Amino acid sequence: MKALILGGTTEAAALARLLNGHAVIEATVSLAGRTKQPVLPPLPTRIGGFGGVDGLAAHLVENGIQAVVDATHPFADQISANAAAACRKTGIPLLVLTRKPWLPGEGDRWIGVPDMDAAAEALRPLGEHVFLTIGRQEVAVFEATPDKTYLIRAVDPPEPMPNLPRHMLILDRGPFTLDGELALLAEHRIDVIVSKNSGGTATEAKLEAARRRSIPVVMVERPPGNGVAEVHDAGSALRWLEGLAGHARTP
Ligand SMILES: NC(=O)c1ccc[n+]([C@@H]2O[C@H](COP(=O)([O-])OP(=O)(O)OC[C@H]3O[C@@H](n4cnc5c(N)ncnc54)[C@H](OP(=O)(O)O)[C@@H]3O)[C@@H](O)[C@H]2O)c1
């Protein structure tokens, strides 16, 4: 059975490892091509957009794809909407593989906001030194709150580079440690962190560090889903694929 994994995440990479050399599932991974030096999965990989819903639907049909796993990032809402529409249109089964969102614990000072514009607005009363850990695509939104000192951390430089009078850029991919995050918060005298509610363990240490330092976190909540069935671990996605392929389940 031919399957397409929409990737670019730790979860997609985990599923690719499980499918490497699989007896009956022939999977391809698709990456958007945003990251300059992506960690390539151990499966055939195609890179670049499909050209919207119609382009994706045509790709699925032309390549004889019989199942799609949308393992893209929880904030990659355009490709997820496209996958939902293209699979509806072609009748191809679709599953979302996504990590669980983080939940606030005791001692957390989270300020939940629906989107990045609201995050920039929420910063106004929250201190001078801001740690932006939101990836590189939406940093320019913070030009609406320019009178802060920003520490920006991303895998690749922001595009476009923001017009912020006081900012510093750190390029790093993680995973990050608690000690490292505590040291970073202290060194840059961080008053507030801005984060997407991405979930997962690779970037979770910043939240524990914020809790220990009693630093508020402006937390951008996830965009709404598309009503597609979801699983949270690669093993469950593999079992779904194997079920479709009529393959015996692994014990
Ligand atoms: N957004 C985040 O915070 C974030 C964080 C970490 C990793 N990522 C990963 O980075 C990639 C891009 O994320 P995004 O937020 O820019 O996506 P997006 O806004 O949802 O998608 C924009 C367009 O990029 C193309 N695209 C996105 N993911 C693709 C994939 N896996 N394969 C082929 N084309 C893809 C599609 O182009 P066409 O319409 O031309 O098909 C899509 O319409 C995704 O693979 C995602 O998993 C995103």
How many angstroms does the Cα of residue 80 sit away from the middle of ligand 1? 8
Place of tokens 């524990």: 208
Query: What CA–CA distances, in Å, run from 35 to 7, 23, 47, 171, 249?
Result: 12, 31, 11, 12, 35
- Is 55's C-beta closer than 6 angstroms to any atom of ligand 1? yes
Distance, CA of 147 to CA of 142 (rounded, Å): 10
- Which letter does DSSP use for residue 5 in this model? E
Answer yes or no: do 79 and 95 share one domain: yes
Q: What is the pLDDT of residue 165?
A: 97
**Mean pLDDT taken over the chain:** 95
Residue 175 Cβ < 6 Å to ligand 1? no
Domain that holds residue 91: 2-100+224-249
The total number of structural domains that make up the chain: 2
Q: Are residues 206 and 228 in the same domain?
A: no
Ligand 1 atom at shortest distance from the alpha carbon of 155:
6
> Do 66 and 160 belong together in one domain?
no
Do residues 206 and 239 both lie within one domain? no
Task: Decide: 122 in ligand 1 pocket, CB within 6 A.
Answer: no
33 C-alpha to center of ligand 1: Å? 8
Residue 45 sits in a domain whose CATH number is 3.40.50.720
**Is the pLDDT assigned to residue 250 strictly greater than 80?**
no
Cross-strand pairs, 212: none
In what order do the strands lie in the sheet containing 67-70? Answer: 45-47, 26-31, 2-6, 67-70, 94-97, 230-231
The CATH number covering residue 158 comes to 3.40.50
| Any ligand 1 atom below 6 A from CB of 108 | no
pLDDT at 247: 56
Q: Is residue 69 one of the residues assigned to a domain?
A: yes
Closest-lying ligand 1 atom to the alpha carbon of residue 50: 41
Residues 22, 77 share a domain: yes
Is this model's pTM higher than 0.75 or not? yes
74 touches ligand 1 (CB under 6 Å): no
Q: Are residues 156 and 177 in the same domain?
A: yes
Instruction: Give the helix, strand, coil percentages of the chain, each rounded to 5.
Output: 30, 20, 45
Q: What is the pLDDT of residue 34?
A: 86
Task: Identify whether 14 is part of a domain.
Answer: yes
Reply yes or no on whether the pLDDT at 104 is more than 50.
yes
Q: Does the residue 235 lie in any domain?
A: yes
Say yes or no: 126 and 53 in one domain.
no
- pLDDT of residue 210 exceeding 80: yes
Rounded alpha-carbon distances, angstroms, from residue 182 to 133, 143, 185: 14, 27, 5
Ligand 1: which atom is nearest the Cα of residue 135?
Answer: 3
pLDDT > 80? residue 248: no
78 and 147 both lie in a single domain: no
Q: Are 215 and 151 in contact (CB under 8 A)?
A: no
Establish whether residue 76 lines the binding site of ligand 1, counting it when its CB lies within 6 angstroms of any ligand atom: yes
Q: Which of 42, 197, 194, 170 is nearest to 119 (CA)?
A: 194
Same domain, 94 and 12: yes
In the reported structure, the alpha carbon of residue 120 is separated from the centroid of ligand 1 by a whole-number distance in angstroms of: 23
Q: Is the CB of 82 under 6 A from ligand 1?
A: yes
In this structure, the answer to whether residues 18 and 95 fall within a common structural domain is yes
Same domain? For 177 and 240 the reply is no
158 and 130 in a common domain: yes
Domain assignment present for residue 105? The answer is no
pLDDT (mean) for 101-120: 97
> What H or E segment, with its residue span, contains residue 31?
strand 26-31
